[in-house]
Amino acid sequence: MAFIALVLCGLSIGTFSPLLLIVGIVHGCTQQIFLIATVESRSRGDAVRFSRDNIIRALALLSFGILVAVLTGSGIAVLVAEAVLTLSFSVVLLRRSATYARLDMWRLYNLALRRMPRAPWRAAMTLMAITGVAFLLVNLDRWLAAARLSALEFAAYSFAWTVLMLAQSAQQIINTSIYPMMCRRFASNEPRRAFRVCMASSLFVLFAGGIAALPAYVVLKYCVYNWFPKYAGAVVVVPLFLAVAVLRVSDFWSSFVLAAGRENVLLFANTASVITGILLWSLWIYFPTGKALQPTDAALLALILSILSYTTVVGCAWATRLGQGKSRAYV
């Protein structure tokens, strides 16, 4: 709220106007509200309903966004339209959740307000910090590319980055079923079964992704050269991005650590991965060359961060499993 007040006073950041900052904040808040509204379907492990809600929203945003863009020619108007639509979908989903729970909507809100002081805020703050660090892990290479690459190079880099966006979306959809399943195993005092679910899911997706990477590269290379020749520079970084995508889409180890209630361990692991990855990339890739940043250099940063994050979190998951093995949960 204080930040919004500063924006209303005329604060601008870089080339972003106060109005754009306000709209951006509101747009981001509506995305978070929609994420909360989908908790009910995700907690039930109903991946089909979760996917259906997302695809309906995506199609509505695409159609309405294109219409607003054609009529107004304003990016801000498109963001406002998306925020209004997302908020409307969220209200519908929340009301539907109350119907499933057989609770009156206002009674549900009152219950939530009364129980809010008793919520585990420490864990929530840790999870928020984990989300921030994870966002840094995912986007650091793109920010670097935007700052150091030419407009043409960054256009090709962003085009190839679509591979990572697809991988992250796929991982979220799959994890909609995997994470609640692991949580139910822990709630049933079956941490071994939770770890087996985690390991089987991660290894299967990792193996399948590794097999699919080569034909995917051939198809993507053909599509770029024949349909998007202006972005031919993207082909150079696609193999690196495919490796990153396979690691990210197969990471269910983080979900196991969270299901075990080890948020602090995961936060430390992700933070250490970011710091170590930046130092390693700087000393091994960037500084020794002494030349301008290349698209492959930025892509290598993404790969290094992904490898470090993946291996570190695997270690945390195994340590958590062994720690649980020594606890009463296995007795």
DSSP 156-200: HHHHHTHHHHHHHHHHHHHHHHHHHHHHHHHHTT-HHHHHHHHHH
Domain check: are 202 and 327 in the same one? Answer: yes
Q: What does the chain come to in residues? A: 331
pLDDT at 8 over 70: no
Domain check: are 320 and 183 in the same one? Answer: yes
Q: Which domain holds residue 26?
A: 1-119
**What is the pTM assigned to this prediction?**
0.78
Domain check: are 101 and 234 in the same one? Answer: no
**When comparing pLDDT for 244 and 290, which is higher?**
244
Domain check: are 100 and 129 in the same one? Answer: no
Question: Residue 291 — very low, low, confident or very high, per pLDDT cuts 50/70/90?
Answer: confident
Domain check: are 45 and 154 in the same one? Answer: no
Contact 45, 102 (CB under 8 A): no
Domain end marker among 119, 144, 172: 119
Domain check: are 68 and 216 in the same one? Answer: no
Cα three-residue angle 39-41-45, rounded to 5 degrees: 110
pLDDT score of 9? 57
**Rounded Cα gap, residues 62 and 82, in angstroms:** 9
Domain end marker among 79, 94, 119: 119
Six-digit token string for 317: 């998951």
Domain check: are 112 and 146 in the same one? Answer: no
Domain check: are 196 and 284 in the same one? Answer: yes
Q: Round the CA-based radius of gyration of the chain to a whole number and report it.
A: 22
Q: How many domains does the chain have?
A: 2
Domain check: are 69 and 140 in the same one? Answer: no
Domain end marker among 81, 98, 119: 119
Domain check: are 300 and 282 in the same one? Answer: yes
SS3 for 216-231, per residue? HHHHHHHHHHHHCHHH
pLDDT score of 211? 93
pLDDT score of 330? 34
Closest CA to 41 of 100, 83, 85, 113: 100
Domain check: are 99 and 172 in the same one? Answer: no
Q: Among 21-25, 151-155, 225-229, 275-279, name the most confident range.
A: 275-279
pLDDT at 123 over 50: yes
pLDDT score of 191? 83
pLDDT score of 95? 79
Domain check: are 75 and 196 in the same one? Answer: no
pLDDT tens digit sequence for 181-226: 888 888 788 888 889 989 999 999 999 999 998 999 999 888 888 8
